[in-house]
Amino acid sequence: MKYAMFWGCLIPAREPNYEVSVRKIMPAFGVKLVEMEGTNCCAPFGIQSLDYMSWLALAARNLCIGEEMGLDIVTLCNDCYESLLMVNTMLKTDHELKNQVNEILAEVGKEYKGKIDVKNMIDVLYDDVGVKKVKDAVKKPFTGLKVATQPGCHLTKPKRIHFGERKFDAFDELVRATGAETIDYDRRQSCCGGPLRGINDELARDVARMKLISIKNAGAECIVTVCPFCFLELDMSQLEIKRHFKEEYNLPVLHFAELLRMAMGMKLDDWETKSHRVPLNPLLKDRLQEG
Partner 1 sequence: MTKLSELEPKFMHEVANTPRGKGILACIQCGRCSSSCPIARLVDEHNPRQLMEMIILGSRDEVLHTKLPWYCLSCFTCLDRCPQGGDVAEVMFAIRNLAVREGNVPDGFAAQAGNLIKTGRVVTPAMMMINKREKLGLSKTPSTAIEEVQKILKKTTLDKMMASRRTVKE
Partner 2 sequence: MEQPAVLVIGAGISGIQASFDLASRGIKVYLVEKSPSIGGRMAQLDKTFPTMDCSMCILAPKMIDCSHHPNVELLTYSEVKEVKGSPGNFTVKVVKKPRYVDISKCTGCGICVDNCPVEVTNEFDEGLGMRKAIYMPFPQAVPRAMTIDKENCIECGLCEKMCEAGAVDLEQKQEEIELKVGAIIVATGFDIFDPSQIPPYGYGRHKDVITALELERLLCASGPTGGHLVRPSDGKVPKTIAFIQCVGSRDRRHGNPYCSSICCKYAVKDAVLIKEHDPSARVCIFYIDLRAFGRGFQEFVNRAKTEYGIRFIRSNPGEITYDPETNGLSIWYEDTVTKKIENLKFDLVVLSAALIPRKDVGDLVKVLGIEVDPYGFLKSSSSISDPVDTTVPGIFACGYCLGPKTGDIPDSVSQGSAAASRAAEVIVGGK
Q: In the complex, what is the shortest distance from the CB of residue 130 to partner 2, in angstroms, rounded to a whole number?
A: 26
The secondary structure of residue 226, as a DSSP letter, is: S
The Cα 65–Cα 115 span in angstroms is 11
49 near partner 1, judged by CB under 8 A: yes
Q: Which does 270 bind (CB under 5 to 8 A by kind): partner 2, partner 1, none?
A: none
**Stretch of 12-20, 113-121, 245-253, 277-285 lying at the interface with partner 1 (CB under 8 A):** 12-20
* Residues making contact with partner 2 (CB under 8 A): 159, 165, 168, 184, 186-190, 214, 217-218
Task: Specify whether the CB–CB gap between 65 and 39 falls below 8 A.
Answer: yes
List, in order, residues 6 or more apart from 135 with CB less than 8 Å away.
177
Q: In the complex, what is the shortest distance from the CB of residue 38 to partner 1, in angstroms, rounded to a whole number?
A: 4
The Cα 79–Cα 61 span in angstroms is 16
The Cα 287–Cα 291 span in angstroms is 13
Nearer to partner 1, 56 or 116 (CB): 56
Q: Which does 214 bind (CB under 5 to 8 A by kind): partner 2, partner 1, none?
A: partner 2
217 near partner 1, judged by CB under 8 A: no
Q: Which does 29 bind (CB under 5 to 8 A by kind): partner 2, partner 1, none?
A: none
Q: Which does 217 bind (CB under 5 to 8 A by kind): partner 1, partner 2, none?
A: partner 2
Give me the 255-284 binding string for partner 1, x by CB under 8 A, dash otherwise: ----------------x-------------
Task: Specify whether the CB–CB gap between 38 and 65 falls below 8 A.
Answer: yes
The Cα 42–Cα 76 span in angstroms is 12
153 near partner 1, judged by CB under 8 A: yes
Strand partners, 224: 149, 254
Nearer to partner 1, 80 or 222 (CB): 80
Q: Which does 240 bind (CB under 5 to 8 A by kind): partner 1, partner 2, none?
A: none
At position 209, the amino acid (one-letter code) is: R
Segment holding 52, helix H or strand E: helix 52-69
154 near partner 1, judged by CB under 8 A: yes
Strand 73-75 with 146-150, pairing: unpaired
Nearer to partner 1, 186 or 248 (CB): 186
Strand partners, 33: 3
The secondary structure of residue 37, as a DSSP letter, is: P
Task: Specify whether the CB–CB gap between 175 and 142 falls below 8 A.
Answer: no
Q: In the complex, what is the shortest distance from the CB of residue 11 to partner 1, in angstroms, rounded to a whole number?
A: 9
Nearer to partner 1, 46 or 279 (CB): 46
HSE of 205, CA atoms in CB hemisphere, 13 A: 15
Residues across the chain = 291
Report CA 14 to chain centroid distance, whole Å.
14
Q: Which does 35 bind (CB under 5 to 8 A by kind): partner 1, partner 2, none?
A: partner 1
The Cα 220–Cα 231 span in angstroms is 16
Residues that bind partner 1 (CB under 8 A): 7, 9-10, 12-14, 16, 19-20, 35-41, 44-54, 57-58, 61, 104-105, 107-108, 153-154, 157-159, 189-191, 193-196, 198-200, 203-204, 206-207, 210, 271
